[in-house]
Copies of this chain bind each other. A is one copy, B any other.
């Protein structure tokens, strides 16, 4: 796409004349891209149609059955904790004892939202006041998940960004913030294949997070969304955050969330909540006023589809087979198109749903805008930061799972063209 006459080199190292030449070549490539009239979308972490096909048995199940192993008629009211059989399938991967793992409705986002709403109205065990009667704040490792931030923004809870490292959030930063400010009541954590950096929290980081001094009603919102979503054979051992927290004398600190959204169907799945006995009792007490029980037949469908922990693992291998080429395509595109120009740094995640790309400071918004104008929808720049505010304007979240791989390659190639043009613009503007 770029001029054959131009020999790639890190853009920032080019002299102004060479940079102008590069800019002209990128602009021409971009005009050709726009002329192609694409309509592609890599905005969201959605499974692709062929991933959804892996669970199509759910469209026939439970095949006339409607009783659980104990003989309960699942068609009727009741069963607020969810099916024990389904909770048993996920207990090992999530490292939560079945008795403390609840299987609930369609969305873990809903459980997280509602947990914060209940904490605002009632407070949590160990706290003196409802969160809503105080001016509270949350720690938000960045880059992070925009829907986490939206919940807090909607509730008027202040977010304090914390840097993410490859082994989890910067625990020294977390510890010094917590020590200085007891209005901090929560922290978002995606401990395995973090959204979007793919970081996996190390045991050392987890031990630090559950041990460090904090307010008694401080909670780790442990969104283990990608616990079983591996993309390689190099897999982290599940960390038993509840046991580590108990060992550290803070058993009530972690609140664990997960779902089958990216295991079966995002539009018809099952969410999980796990925590200490005290937190689970608190949750159940709140939920008793809210619901007579979750959709238990959908839970039965999931039991019949996945069968057991091994069945779950085998099912996730099929997802991996579909997803690996897409993540490889991201890496290839960026290696071929961005690396020669020194135009980006990114991760090659071992699981999860995203690649986090950092472009030249001050270029992300413009690159995403250029891509959009060329018919390639990308997650808005800034979305990975609280209030949509990426102070460096550098981070772009790549969600490669949804489109077919050929469309994905086309979208990535176009995005790279947009990024190169945006970076050349930024650098030229800096030399005016």
A254 within 8 A of B: no
**Chain A: interface residue total (CB-CB under 8 A):** 57
The reply to whether B297 and A265 form a contact with Cβ atoms under 8 Å apart is yes
Q: Which of B59, B76, B109 contacts A52 (CB 8 A)?
A: B76
Q: Which of B55, B76, B154 contacts A265 (CB 8 A)?
A: B76
Given A59-B65, A105-B106, A117-B121, A76 and B295 touching (CB < 8 A)? Answer: no
Q: Which of B52, B65, B74, B290 contacts A113 (CB 8 A)?
A: B290
Chain B residues lying within 8 Å of A47, measured Cβ to Cβ, are 76
- From 49 to 92 in chain A, residues with beta carbon under 8 angstroms from any chain B beta carbon are 49, 52, 55-56, 58-60, 62-66, 73-79
Return the CB mask of A135-168 against B: 1 if under 8 Å, else 0: 0000000000001001100110000000000000
User: A interface, by DSSP: helix, strand, loop or mixed?
Assistant: loop
The reply to whether A295 and B298 form a contact with Cβ atoms under 8 Å apart is yes
Chain B residues lying within 8 Å of A56, measured Cβ to Cβ, are 64, 66
- From 91 to 126 in chain A, residues with beta carbon under 8 angstroms from any chain B beta carbon are 105-107, 109-110, 113-114, 117-118, 120-121
Given A106-B294, A155-B121, A265 and B59 touching (CB < 8 A)? Answer: no
| Cα distance A293–B114 in the bound complex, in angstroms | 15
Chain B residues lying within 8 Å of A150, measured Cβ to Cβ, are 288-289
Q: Which of B52, B289, B295 contacts A267 (CB 8 A)?
A: B295
Closest 6 CB pairs of A and B: A268-B297, A75-B265, A113-B290, A154-B289, A77-B266, A52-B75
